[in-house]
Each structure stands twice: as structure tokens, then as C-alpha cells.
Structure 1
Amino acid sequence: MLAALGGCAIAPSHPALIGAALPELIPVREFVANRQATGAYRVSPDGKKLAWMGVSGVVPAIWVKTIGGTDDKAFPIRARHYVWSGDSRFLVALVDPAGDEDMHVHVAAVDGSAGFIDRTPFAKTRAGVNRVIDDTAALIIETNQRDKKVFDPYRLDLETGKLTRIVENPGTVAWWGFDRAGVLRARLVLEGERSMLQLPDPQATPSAWRTTASWDRDSGLRVLDFTDGGAAAWALSNRGRDKTALVKLTLATGAEAVEYAAPEVDGDNALLAKSSRLPMAAYSLPDYPRLAVFDAALRARLAALSDGGPAEIAVSSRDDADQVLTATVTTERGTRTFLLAGKEAPPQLLGESQLSLIASLLATTKPIAYVSRDGLTVHGYLTLPQGVPPGPLPMVLLVHGGPMLRDRWAEESPSRSLKQFLANRGYAVLQVNYRGSSGYGRAFMEKAIGEFAGKMHDDLIDGVRWAVDTGVADPRRVAIYGASYGGYAALVGATFTPEVFACAVDVVGVSDLARLLETVPPYWEFGLHWWRRYVGDPADPAQRKVMDAKSPVYMAQRAQRPILVMHGVNDPRVKLEQSQRMVEALRAANKTVEFVTFKGDGHGNQKWPNNLTMYRKTEDFLASCLGGRSTGFDYYQLGAWAF
């Protein structure tokens, strides 16, 4: 029976792929449900234990062991993220059970037998970790239990589960700044067009605050940690400059001193020593990842992980003494995690991501750049299938979400394995960091104001033209694929520029811009400022008219080629109705559309059976319109119903 089902594989039909020496056709399960894949390794603060995310049997779990020991222990849970407690006795996991972003804080005692306990079991409430408190079984969490629009900070006792509210959000605080001892040092207030840094003012009243700095709301300031006894902080900031830099911020005055600035792009992140509070390294991404290491000892330890080729080498965790580290080495072919147990100890391989386990079968990704029709330099990445001679290939334009995010060269998340999945099926894959993408400075982002379905889309079309003109892409066999904003872009491509694309794939995409802003979750309140500035205010009739003119749901009659629409039913950001209405409009106009929904998931799938379905639908759909290949069946589909 399995052999017969396996025989449903689709051979490539595009002329460039027929007879090509394509690599082995990788089963879909290897991209979405490889049980040997592990990741998110974290050293405990005392440097004695190690935790990681993997699988126990057939279910997701967080594993724990003593470093150097064989006492591996699994705690079954499907977590978005997790941290150690400051005293190394507890694991704290963030769990989104239904994919609706009602995040819960779960706690498990490492030496106990009870497993994880939900310490924020509140309906329709989002919770998150603000700060782990050093050397204690307590941490600071934030929840919107009291007011769904804003978050109040609480102290959570991990042993008893007791929650104690520290301060009530007046409705304007977007960030609470606690130090490693759990002391509230600062807050960020958003009012009107201004952002304000405020410090406690105990000389006035115990609950009073004073403003020490103010700036326009579209400038960014992200505090990484406090230093100098709480008098200063290390932060990533673009206040008064185009590019984000690592700065030392004097809290009493708001003055900044630049510590490190990448020459061409925004600073991506920075690593601060736990022991000295000094910067150890800074990361940026002009094309390939770039790492600037300031600490000589760390530089020598990380050098042992480099093979001389491009890679994103990052410290992913360390103990409180900055001696026992985990470090990741990430390329476009996956992530490997190493343990650096001491200054003289050689790196020890701990585990690999799903892509890394099949790296030999994967393709190479290279940075590219081109000039848009209005003279803007646009950067991106091109992945070409292995074993195919140069020449016009079927191509997928893979559009990132956000839109104020960016595509990266290295593996990022399960969804980014799409570029390797698509390349294995025989497609060239083009990723474009169109205007409005983060990482290239404020001026580059602000060129996206008012340009949804305008110049932002022109950048994508110009990318396709670049690929055609350079001989990469077959102009008759180009698809557009995207999720979230990328899904919106796919629908725009299918309806505004239908002559460019042979087909389109939309995942959790927006079809009606005005309706999006009217139905977002309450905790998006602070983010709506950006959307109103860049896209429009649906409460203003004139602006709503413009937004409707840029909404694919009203342009369905212009579609010419097949469209695949997929959506998680519990999506709280882009509601399911966005896809339902788009599909209804396409069907009413007698257009070819396939509609797939994912139960138990939301704005991006957590459950492997849903990802299995998404990838399988994608490969069959693209094989029919682009001429690539498809597995036709994966035997994991037989058991997916049980999960």
C-alpha cells in the first residue's frame, strides 16, 4: 500500500529540469517533523545543567541533563520559548496551546516529577517573561489580565505560583525596565507622537515618575540591560541617526554614547557579559552575517567554530560567570549547537536543526542586490537548486512578513526552511528585502509610507525582472509565495500584476487592509500608530477609500492564474475572515482558487501535521503551475490525524 501511494510522486515537467541531475527528493517530513532535530540549548545559570528542545517519543518536549552526565530527562510540552530560573531549579516555558496567542507561563521543577504547571491559567490573556531574577526562584512576568490593551508587571514565585502585581499600567507604558535583581529602573511611555523614557521619582511620591528623555515615536530604543548600578543601560538605538547602533544610555539625562555601529546597516543585536555588564560582541547583517567580538577570550573560543566560510556564529546561552557557553553556527543549510564547557575545552557538538541533518542535499544561498525603477538599491537572497545547469528556471518569489522584518541569509525558523524545500523541488528562490524592511536604516523603512501595493510591490516586481534579465528566471514560470504581509503581497501580485505570475500562494495573508486594523487584538494598541502612519486610518473615509483601493479582496476579478490560500483558524492577528472573504470573492468571479485551513493553529503553524499539509499542498500546487517536482505523498500523512 505504501509503495503504491509513494508512486504518486510528480516528476519535473519544466524543460530546464527534465534530465537535470537534481539531488535526492527530500520527503516533506524531514522539513517539518524530523524527530532527531534539536535546538534552543540553554546552560543553567550555575553552569551545571543543560536544557534543550526536542521530541520525546512523538511529542515535543524540553529535555534536561547534568553537563557531562547521562541523566537525560524529558518534560513533554509544546513551547514557543523557555528560560531557566535564576537559581537553576526551574524551567519556565511560554506556551500558546491553541495558536491564538493567549500565551501562558508554565513552570516545572527540574528535580521534580510533576512536569509543567500553568502558572497563568487565565482565559483570553497573554503573558510573557520580562526578567529572570538572579539567584532566586522568582521572575518578573507581564500579563494583560487586568486590561487587554496593556501589560502589568508581576512577581511570580515559581515554587508556590503566587503572583504579586508590582505596578499598574496607566495605559501608556509600552515597556517596563527591571534589572537582574528585580528592581524597577525605568519605563517607556508612549503618548501621541512622542516616546518618553521615565525613571521612578521617590522624592516626589513612591509612585511618581519623571521624564528624562523624549523623542519621536518612530525612532527606536531597545534596552538590553542595565549597568553602573542602574545609572546607565546598554541599548540599541537609532535616535538622532539613520542606523541603529549599540549605545550606552545615561538614564538620568537620556544621553547616548555610541559603543559600536555597523557601517552599512542597522546593528542587529549585542551580547553583554553577565559578570561585568560590558559588551562582548555585536551582530549585524549587511549580506552575510557579521560578528564583531570585543572580548579577546571570547573571540578565541568562537574562532574554533569557524571553518572559514560564511556563518552566523552566536552565543545562545551562558552561565552567570560567562564561562560555560552554548554557541550556534547557522548557515543557509541549518543550525548546529556546540557546548563550550571551559576556556580550554574543545567545542562539543550538542545537536542539529532539521535542515542541518540533511545539509548535504541542500542548496546554496547567495546575497544579491539590484536597483529599483526609482533608483533605490534593494538587497535580497537567491537560492538555486542543485544539479541544474544555468538557464532560465521556474522561480518562486518568497516574500517575508512584517512588513517591518527582513529576510536573512541563514536559517531562521521552520517557515524559512521553505527556501530549501522549494529549491529541492527544482525552483530558484528569490527573497527580497523590499523598502519597509528592517535592518537597512530608518530612511529605507520610511520609503514604505503609503506604498502598500505601490512601490513596495514595485520592488518585488523589479526583483523578478532582475532575475529574468540575468537569466535566472523563466518569465512564464514565476510564482509568488508569502505569509502574513507576504500573503498580502502574494494576493496583490495575483490581482494587481497578474501578468507577472503563473500562480500565487497566500498564507495567513491580508486581503482587506481597513478590516485588518479594525479587528486586531487589543494588545496591538501601541503598534497601530505605525500602521496608521504607513497604511492609513480606516476611521477617516478618505483614507479608507485609499486602503480599499489597495486591498486585493476588491480586485478579485482581475486575477488570471491559480491561487492557493491557507490559513490557521485561530489566527488573532489576521483573522480567518480575511481569507474566507478573499476566497468567496475569487469564486464569485469564477477564478481558480484552493482553500486550506489549519485547525488548532493561528498566525503560523506550531503543529507538525499542519505544516506537513501546508508543504504538501504547496509542492503539488507549484508542480502544476511551475513544472517542478513533488513527492506526491508522505507516509507521515497516515498518522497525522492523531496529532
Structure 2
Amino acid sequence: MDLTPFARTGSHIVMPVDGTAAFVVSSNLRDKKVFDLYRIDARSGARQLLQTNPGNVAWWGVDRQGRVLARVALDGADSRLQGPQADGRWRDLAQWSRWETVVLFGLQEDGRRAWALSNRGRDKLALVRFDLDSGAEELVHADPAVDLDSVVLSRRTQQPLVIHSMPGYPARRVLDDGLARRLDVLAGDGPADVQIASMDDSETVLVAVVTTDRGSRSHLLRGDRPAQLLGENSLSMVAAELASTRPITVTSRDGLALHGYLTLPPGVQPRGLPMVLLVHGGPWIRDRWGSGATNRALQQFLANRGYAVLQLNYRGSSGYGRAFMEKAIGEFAGRMHDDLVDGVRWAVASGVADPARVAIYGASYGGYAALVGATFTPEVFACAVDVVGMSDLASLLKDAPPYWELGRPWWHRFVGDPAKADDLARMREKSPLYRAQQARGPVLVMHGVNDARVKLDQSERMVAALRAAGKPVEYLTFRGDGHGNQKWNNNLALYRKTEDFLAGCLGGRSSGFDYYQLGAWLF
């Protein structure tokens, strides 16, 4: 049953309500710019409006009984944590800068306490106890190198069980000795990301997912019994044929430590290889170790075709603290791109990459980076692959979807406000659309026609500009998909086009036409 049958609307589960068939759900059904709160019964589909967003609420705090205990409202440069009053109004509980991050979770049943991942007054996201009355924080755990990723809470005690981070390989701190032993057995001797997917109320029966750079496997753990394999993903089924991915560190030209990952094709000497620089999107996310990372295991596909694959968390990436992220302010097509080029230089200097056979590939912001590589530094890259990337920064923001409204100040801070003449001029200077004549090598552009974030027009105009300048460009669109493909036939077309294009540019392997491709055409 579709419980949110609303066209052109986003809906998200906020909290299942204990002991019932109900969920608290956020949806922008009423106003596409903001999200209201609803309680929806999963049996009947009945929907009840709980809270109407006044226009500036970015987060709702709901406990397991379905009670709305808090919200975060944006007010200029401030974020205000607010609590409900008996008269229906809201009062301020705490305040922090809009540019700080406080992720509240695990609201206590007394409505006065919570946990949070917070960098308020510090650089890195740390686990804190949060007092909802005073707004005071008590530091519980921090990693000096990176932000904490996530925390698993006990449903019985509401105390932390597992704390996750990823300085290079995945790291976990398990606070219960018995649970630690059970998870360590699953992890084995090598690096692994072990996540608890679900637990029963007694916390003796749980499902754990073990992810490595070669796939993921799900296990059922029941008391002291041996773990039972529930299933594995398609990568794990061919793990023996896959490449290994290792963390690397590169020093930028201005002395900044840049972390990332290198995947090398198995069975060949890692010297003078054709290489693909695989750029993550966001840009305020990061590449991670493991098959569930941001690029959906594309690195394994490329390594299988004979390419070294370099992934670099350039400045502006999340996970390395607020200062590292803020070094990207004003640096689109600037030092953010310099970091990527410095990564290529590192791979060449280390002997891994052939400088004449380096491609740049990315989706979303990564697609923009690919176009920047093709038009700002064409001497570095033999070719470029852009997937759902933006080519014109000003029109990206002018045509942004309504639900970006509360996030616009973030874009204005990092990139610029197209309503301001000086910002508009700088955004034009940083837009590949206006530098198409500088491209040298071939460019492949691919885009979902239903993309609500980066409109198809961003690619249409870029392709037209490249063609008008007489530059080699190939163009592929995906019907029925948007900002990233979900349909198997579109994904197959994307991968096939990618391998053929890179084979022509870098000389790697292409599997050629097969019956799966024929099936994609037919279905």
C-alpha cells in the first residue's frame, strides 16, 4: 500500500510509533518548500496532521511514542532548538550558529534529554549528551582525526552501544563487551564495516551487515548461537574476482592533507596504468571505504576494465571537521579542483598512473568537476564523463527545487547568490558552460530527464556549447530516471556507454554487446 500517494512530493519516515501500526512522517505535501509532520496508520492509511511547518523548521524531534518534543528553527544566521508549550507556542531552548551541526537523536521519554552528534564550539562532530532544558552539552566521545559517523542506541537503556567513524578504514567502538565479541567474530581479521541493521526488544537477536571493499553480507545473530548468513549482495558473490581498495593521503599544493582511496586492477603491475579520477558528489559528502560508498561500487567496475581508480576527498568534503569543509568557501573551480589535480599528480609521481591516460568521472557535483576538468584543466585529462552534473552555477540555483529553500543560504555562502551582480559574475567565471571552447579531449554527458535537482537543461546547454565549439561530445539521456538512475536498463546503458567511451579514450577493456543490453532495449 502506498501510504503517501502524493505526486511531486517527498516523504520520509521520522519515527515508528511503539506498540502501534503508525509512523510519524514528514512531507512537503502542503508546501513544497518545507516539511510538515503527519501520523499515518500503516493498516488503514489514515493520515493525521501533527505539526504545520511555519516556514523555517529544518528538523522535528519525535520520541518513540509519537510525541513531538522539539524542533530546530532557522533564524538568519542562527539555529534555534525549541520546545512546545501547553498553549501551543514554542519556546527557545538552545541556540547555535547555522554553520555548526547538531544532529539530535534518541530523545528521552521525559522530554528533557537527548543524544547528539555535535560540532558546536568544536571542529569535529562528537557524541554528546544534550540537555533539552538548558541546551548544555556533555562530551562523551570524539575522534581527533574525523567526525563521528553514527551511533547505535540501546532501545532498553537509551545508552550508546556502538560508535562508528571512518578515518580511513572503518572504525567502531563497541561499548558492550558481549556485543563487541559477537561483532568482532563477524568482522574477521581484515578491515570491515559492521553495522547493526535491526535488533529485537531484548537486544539478544539482531541482524548485522558486514561490508568490505568487495561487497556486503547480512547475518542473523541469536544469543550464543553461531551467526547465520541471511544473504549477500551481488558484489560479494564475486568477491574473489574483485580489486582491493586502500586508503591514501595526498598533500595539496598549499599543504592540506587530503584523504582518499586507491583501487588497483588485480593481476597487473601497478605501474603506468590508465587511471580514472572518480569524483564524489555533494560536494558536502565524502568518499568512503566499502562497497556501499557514494559511487555505488563504480570503482570495482572500472578496476575490472583495467583502470586504476583514485577517489579523493577534496576540501569541502564532509567527515574531516568544519574547518576542512569551510576551506571550500568560494573555491568551486578553484582550490577544490586544484586538490583533484594534485591527486592526479600524486598518482603520476608515485608511478601508478600514466599522465597521458587519465580520465575524470563524476556525478552531480562530481559531474560538474568532470566538466571543470575538461574545460579549465584540459591538459590534465584525456577525457571526461559527466553524469547529472551542473554546467551553469547561477541557473542551478535559480532553477533549484522548492525544497532547497532552507538550504539556499548554505549555497550562497559557499558558491554565491545569483541575485547579486558580483556573485553572478563570479559564478559565471566558475561555470564550464562558458568555457566550452577550451575543451580538448572527448566528453561524455549523461543525464536523467526527470532530474529535479540538476535540471536536464544543464546538460542540454553544455552539449550544445561543446558542439558549437566543434568539440567531441557524446550525449545520453535516461527516460524515467532523475538525479541518479534507479531503473536497471538505464543503469546498464550507463555502464555500457561508460566502458565503451573510456576504452576509446584510455584503452581499457570493454565487454562489448551482450544479451543483457538487448534486454534493456526490449524492456
Name the TM-score, length of structure 1 as normaliser. Answer: 0.80
What is the alpha-carbon distance in structure 1 between the residues aligned to residue 299 and residue 514 of structure 2? 19
* 5+ residue gaps, structure 1: 1-116
Residue 310 in structure 1 maps to residue 191 in structure 2: yes
Residue 524 in structure 1 maps to residue 404 in structure 2: yes
Which position in structure 2 is the counterpart of 1:145?
A: 29
Superposed CA offset, 1:66-94 (max 9, x none) = xxxxxxxxxxxxxxxxxxxxxxxxxxxxx
What is the alpha-carbon distance in structure 1 between the residues aligned to residue 326 and residue 57 of structure 2? 25
Per the TM alignment, residue 642 of structure 1 is displaced from its structure 2 partner at its CA by 4.5
1:575 aligned residue (444, 451, 455):
455
What is the alpha-carbon distance in structure 1 between the residues aligned to residue 319 and residue 402 of structure 2? 27
Residue 325 in structure 1 maps to residue 209 in structure 2: no
Q: In structure 1, the residue corresponding to 2:186 is in which secondary structure?
A: coil
- Residue 92 of structure 2 aligns to which amino acid in structure 1? T
Asked if 1 retains the 8 angstrom alpha-carbon contact of 2:286 and 2:294, the reply is no
Residue 630 in structure 1 maps to residue 514 in structure 2: no
Per the TM alignment, residue 321 of structure 1 is displaced from its structure 2 partner at its CA by 2.3
- Residue 554 of structure 1 aligns to which amino acid in structure 2? Y
Residue 282 in structure 1 maps to residue 163 in structure 2: yes
1:213 aligned residue (94, 112, 121):
94
What is the alpha-carbon distance in structure 1 between the residues aligned to residue 294 and residue 242 of structure 2? 15
**Match runs of 1:104-143 below 5 Å:** 117-143=1-27
Per the TM alignment, residue 414 of structure 1 is displaced from its structure 2 partner at its CA by 8.3
- Residue 392 of structure 1 aligns to which amino acid in structure 2? G
Which position in structure 1 is the counterpart of 2:146?
A: 265
1:252 aligned residue (133, 156, 169):
133
What is the alpha-carbon distance in structure 2 between the residues aligned to residue 415 and residue 306 of structure 1? 23
What is the alpha-carbon distance in structure 1 between the residues aligned to residue 293 and residue 514 of structure 2? 22
**Match runs of 1:591-630 below 5 Å:** 591-630=471-510
Q: Could you tell which deviates more after superposition, 157-166 or 587-596?
A: 157-166
Q: In structure 2, the residue corresponding to 1:118 is in which secondary structure?
A: coil
2:58 aligned residue (147, 156, 174):
174
Identity %: 62
**Match runs of 1:9-24 below 5 Å:** none
What is the alpha-carbon distance in structure 1 between the residues aligned to residue 392 and residue 370 of structure 2? 13
- Residue 33 of structure 2 aligns to which amino acid in structure 1? K
**Match runs of 1:92-491 below 5 Å:** 117-202=1-86, 205=87, 207-227=88-108, 229-341=110-222, 343-412=223-292, 415-491=295-371
Q: In structure 2, the residue corresponding to 1:170 is in which secondary structure?
A: coil
Which position in structure 2 is the counterpart of 1:536?
A: 416
Q: In structure 1, the residue corresponding to 2:122 is in which secondary structure?
A: coil
Asked if 1 retains the 8 angstrom alpha-carbon contact of 2:280 and 2:294, the reply is no
Q: In structure 1, the residue corresponding to 2:188 is in which secondary structure?
A: coil
1:415/1:368 CA distance change after superposition, 3 Å: closer
Per the TM alignment, residue 124 of structure 1 is displaced from its structure 2 partner at its CA by 2.1
What is the alpha-carbon distance in structure 2 between the residues aligned to residue 232 and residue 638 of structure 1? 57
- Residue 401 of structure 2 aligns to which amino acid in structure 1? P
Asked if 1 retains the 8 angstrom alpha-carbon contact of 2:242 and 2:266, the reply is yes
What is the alpha-carbon distance in structure 2 between the residues aligned to residue 236 and residue 605 of structure 1? 31
Asked if 1 retains the 8 angstrom alpha-carbon contact of 2:80 and 2:94, the reply is yes
Superposed CA offset, 1:330-367 (max 9, x none) = 111110111112x2111111111121111110001111
What is the alpha-carbon distance in structure 2 between the residues aligned to residue 613 and residue 164 of structure 1? 43
What is the alpha-carbon distance in structure 2 between the residues aligned to residue 365 and residue 468 of structure 1? 18
What is the alpha-carbon distance in structure 1 between the residues aligned to residue 296 and residue 8 of structure 2? 29
Q: Could you tell which deviates more after superposition, 626-635 or 562-571?
A: 626-635
Q: RMSD of the alignment, in Å?
A: 1.0
What is the alpha-carbon distance in structure 2 between the residues aligned to residue 385 and residue 326 of structure 1? 33
Per the TM alignment, residue 259 of structure 1 is displaced from its structure 2 partner at its CA by 1.2
- Residue 139 of structure 1 aligns to which amino acid in structure 2? F
Superposed CA offset, 1:245-268 (max 9, x none) = 011100001111111111211001
What is the alpha-carbon distance in structure 2 between the residues aligned to residue 414 and residue 154 of structure 1? 30
- Residue 521 of structure 2 aligns to which amino acid in structure 1? W
What is the alpha-carbon distance in structure 2 between the residues aligned to residue 464 and residue 516 of structure 1? 28
Name the TM-score, length of structure 2 as normaliser. Answer: 0.99
Asked if 1 retains the 8 angstrom alpha-carbon contact of 2:218 and 2:230, the reply is yes
Which position in structure 2 is the counterpart of 1:110?
A: none
Q: In structure 1, the residue corresponding to 2:61 is in which secondary structure?
A: strand
- Residue 452 of structure 1 aligns to which amino acid in structure 2? F
Superposed CA offset, 1:370-411 (max 9, x none) = 110001010110000011113110000000000000000111
Q: In structure 1, the residue corresponding to 2:127 is in which secondary structure?
A: strand
